[in-house]
Amino acid sequence: MNKSLTQKIARYGLGTFLVVAGIGHLTFARKEFQAQVPDWVPISKDDTVVYSGFAEIALGAALILAPAKQRSKVGKIAAAFFTAVFPGNIAQYKDHRDGFGLDTDGKRLARLFFQPVLVAWALKSTEKG
């Protein structure tokens, strides 16, 4: 498989993942996502989840629909978003909060190692030539 097709599949996959996660923020997984919001965030957990859900839907759509000359920029924005929400994953681990089946410290710790994968996925699937 050539690099262009691999990137397209990876970009569409990540975009779809973000749109579904964003919809989950607004509907079926709203409570689960609240477990990841650190106590120090200055707005309510529910508002944080809703706003981040809108951001994920927008980012996912942008990954899928952005013209070629904008993809790298969108990938960098998605990577920055994944970096910005990482403190939520740390808070979930540190505060022993269950969510999405992460009901042990070991599972919550393992989840921390997935965030860099998302950052790399966003960057690699959108890098130029």
Stated pTM of the model: 0.93
What local confidence, expressed as pLDDT, does residue 1 receive? 76
pLDDT band of 3, cuts 50, 70, 90: confident
Buried/exposed 91-116: b ≥16 CB within 10 Å, e otherwise = bbbeeebebeebeeeeebeebeeebe
Token pair recorded at residue 53: 């859900």
Are the C-beta atoms of 64 and 73 separated by less than 8 Å?
A: no
Return d(Cα 56, Cα 15) in angstroms, integer.
Answer: 9
pLDDT exceeding 90 applies to what percent of the chain?
94
User: Would you kindly state where each structural domain of the chain is located, as residue ranges?
Assistant: 3-124
Phi and psi at 122, nearest 5°, equal -60, -45
Return d(Cα 85, Cα 15) in angstroms, integer.
Answer: 17
